[in-house]
Chains A and B, each alone.
Chain A
């Protein structure tokens, strides 16, 4: 009976106590993305090591530094967590539309405009309302603007047939131009000479640190957003409908699902999260809106979402991992004399290998209980 089953453990379970079988089936299905993901990361790291060897440096030293700089001490862990906060939100901006089959890559646009909206909406209320109210105003303004921005790409996709990948990226370029225009024109603080910025938030109106940690509240907001997104997709009927539409648009339409509303709604929520990332950058890190908002969080978020296979809960560890990698960039630059783009090369390599490894899904019998021999 074990002829078709490759793994001896499975044959024992399949032939033995039947009560273990559902558990094993559940484990096997859950294990597939984890196993393939880990193998992909290992292949990516191996290729990257070859590259580092080719430029005459030691990959071992590099990975050690990467660990030290990202997770080696409490200080570096806090640094990684701070960097992970915006990635959680920008990754959601990619992952939520992806559940509907859309590839949105313009989160950067929602981040910068969200930041500008947050800074602009704060101005009239500083000193008028308590800080917590101000954060609510800023957050709402950022989410509305970000939501409109990415929701527009979703709208164009459904109602005009415009490819959302290209339109969202064009919108990101337009958003950066708009941000520059606002920051250097209408909203510019005359006191900001070298680096045009909006008027800085007073110290007591800054989004502070989580008690006991040197990490700002953005991390908590990001984690909560991921959990809410998971609930939205996996538990609510809205998310269920979205998953059906993502699997097969025509089938969803035949079922009478409001595909257009789903697409616009999901892209708007996604953009809202990215906008919130911009608000956090302004309220917790920069203190004002300026060109530093376009720091590439939107683009790294794409990688995080694909690595997490668009699962909002998986985004949390992946974002922390990538936050750690980017946190170690400075250390690698100083200690090894490698350019700051080293991290980008690693990210690009991992990204390509992970997408390539999609081809392995469904190829291994061990992960597919339907192919196991029934006892």
Chain B
């Protein structure tokens, strides 16, 4: 590493920059999963949706030259995956968790199948906003070069937090999620609300995938995701189904994920793989700390199968 005079300060800086870079997919997937889970369903298939979104975004960006179109196309495919999940789960005796696992395998397989020919070409990247112009240190400038999707994700978290409480759609979603019977009594169709919520969740998860392939790490290959789609499900529990909590938890996870590469960049190579496991260990510890065998989780939607 080039010596630029900031020495070990590079580690917290790299973790900060990494937290922002790595957290963006977590923000979108966890916000999407929050919408779905607030409606009383759980979609474990978001890992597949994320990878398929990454492939679609990359392929469309390669073909059209526009990363924005890539993101939009990914959103469309994510919505389709969500719709399939939502439609299948409305049938009696169908287990939403198991369908999620199947959708994950299907999404991964289909993405690898269709994405085979896009491993080589280079797609245009999503734009980022340079906020570090005030500093002369290149690392600081690099760390503050923040992608637009991060800001969109932050705004979306605030918006969803507000919308869950203050809009008709948000209240409908929460009624359905807390009690299927109450929703039916109010004349709401729980199946339709859940289908739309799962489609919206899938669409957001696919944005997370688009970010992976079009910005960081910024390429398409079969190992593009390392379980972000699944960790986001755990993150939603930790965040207690609160969008702002999701945003903060995503930052925390991003920081944990950046720990390994940050230490490696300053020459710490011992136990490299163990640092790689940090986000998973952190997720597990948080799950253990926040779950309880005797009471249901505070803030959990009443109709959610996950917490029963």
Contact = CB atoms under 8 A, between A and B. Distances in A.
Interface of A: 103, 105, 156, 158-163, 165-167, 169-171, 173-174, 177-178, 180-181, 184-185, 299, 302-303, 306, 338-349, 351-352, 354-356, 358-359, 361-362
B116 interface: yes
B216 interface: no
B110 A345 contact: yes
A222 to B, nearest CB: 22
Contacts of B280: 170, 173-174, 177
B88 A356 contact: yes
Contact of B113 (A169, A306, A344): A344
Interface stretch (B136-144, B159-167, B223-231): B223-231
A173 B113 contact: no
Contacts of B306: 163
B110 A355 contact: no
Contact of A105 (B84, B101, B273): B101
Nearest to B113: A341
A145 to B, nearest CB: 17
Interface of B: 44, 84, 88, 91-95, 97-99, 101-103, 105-110, 112-113, 116, 226-227, 230-231, 233-234, 237, 271-274, 276-277, 280-281, 283-284, 287-288, 291-294, 306-307
B297 to A, nearest CB: 8
A178 B287 contact: no
A59 to B, nearest CB: 15
Nearest to A169: B230
A348 B281 contact: no
A356 B291 CA distance: 30
Nearest to A340: B112
A161 B291 contact: yes
Ranked nearest first, the 5 interchain pairs of A and B with the lowest CB-CB distance are A348-B106, A344-B109, A177-B277, A341-B112, A351-B102
Contact of B277 (A160, A165, A174, A299): A174
19 contacts: A103-B95, A156-B287, A159-B293, A161-B294, A162-B288, A162-B291, A170-B230, A173-B227, A177-B274, A180-B276, A341-B112, A344-B109, A345-B113, A348-B107, A348-B108, A349-B106, A351-B102, A354-B102, A355-B98
A170 B110 contact: no
B95 A355 contact: yes
A344 B293 contact: no
A359 B94 contact: yes
A166 B230 contact: yes
Given A306-B98, A339-B112, 20 more contacts: A161-B293, A162-B287, A162-B291, A163-B287, A163-B307, A166-B237, A169-B227, A170-B230, A170-B280, A170-B287, A174-B284, A177-B274, A180-B276, A302-B101, A303-B105, A344-B109, A349-B106, A354-B102, A355-B98, A362-B93
Contacts of A343: 109
A158 B293 contact: yes
A359 B94 CA distance: 6
A185 B269 CA distance: 11
A161 B113 CA distance: 38
Contact of A352 (B103, B272, B281, B284): B103
A116 B88 CA distance: 40
A165 to B, nearest CB: 6
A267 B204 CA distance: 35
A22 B90 CA distance: 36
B287 A345 contact: no
A363 B84 CA distance: 23
Nearest to B295: A161
Contacts of B113: 338-339, 341-342, 344-345
Nearest to B102: A351
B108 A344 contact: yes
Contacts of A180: 273, 276
Nearest to B276: A177
A358 B293 contact: no
A93 to B, nearest CB: 14
Nearest to B293: A161
A352 B102 contact: yes
A351 B108 CA distance: 13
A361 B230 contact: no
B284 A299 contact: no
Contacts of A303: 102, 105
A359 B226 CA distance: 33
Contacts of B95: 103, 355, 358
B94 A348 contact: no
